[in-house]
Amino acid sequence: MKPEGPLPRHIAIIMDGNGRWASKRDLPRIAGHKAGEVSITEVVRTASDWGLQALTLFAFSTENWNRPKNEVDFLMSFNRNLLRKRIDEFHQRNIRISHFGRREKIPESTLKEIDKAVLLTRENTGMCLNIAFNYGGRAEIIDATIGMSRAIRENPGILQSIDQKSFKSFFYGPDAPDPELLIRTAGEWRISNFLLYQMAETEIYITDTLWPDFRAEHLAEAIREFQRRRGAGV
In percent, how much of the chain has pLDDT > 90?
Answer: 95
* 141 is a domain residue: no
Determine the average pLDDT of the residues in 108-126. 97
Is 169 inside any structural domain? no
Structure confidence at residue 1 (pLDDT): 81
193 occurs within a structural domain? yes
Distance of CA 117 to CAs 75, 110, 128, 148, Å? Answer: 18, 11, 12, 27
Q: Does residue 128 belong to any structural domain of this protein?
A: yes
Q: Is 66 within a domain?
A: yes
Taking each helix axis from N to C terminus, what angle separates 29-49 and 69-92, rounded to the nearest 10 degrees?
A: 20
**Maximum Cα–Cα distance across the chain:** 61
Instruction: Name the domain count of the chain.
Output: 1
User: Could you give the 3-state DSSP secondary structure of residue 133?
Assistant: strand
Q: What is the pLDDT of residues 1-59, one digit of tens each?
A: 899 999 999 999 999 999 999 999 999 999 999 999 999 999 999 999 999 999 999 99
CATH of residue 24:
3.40.1180.10
Query: Model-level pTM?
Result: 0.95
Q: Which domain, by its residues, includes 82?
A: 10-136+178-231
Q: Which residues of 70-103 are buried (b: 16+ CB within 10 A; e: fewer)?
A: ebeebbbebbbebbeebbeebbebebbbbbbbbe
Point out the residues that are catalytic. 16, 64
Mean pLDDT for 86-92 is: 98
Q: What is the pLDDT of residues 132-186, one digit of tens each?
A: 999 999 999 999 999 999 999 999 988 888 999 999 999 999 999 999 999 999 9
pLDDT for 192: 97
Return the SS3 of 119: helix
* pLDDT band at residue 231 using 50, 70 and 90 as cut-offs: confident
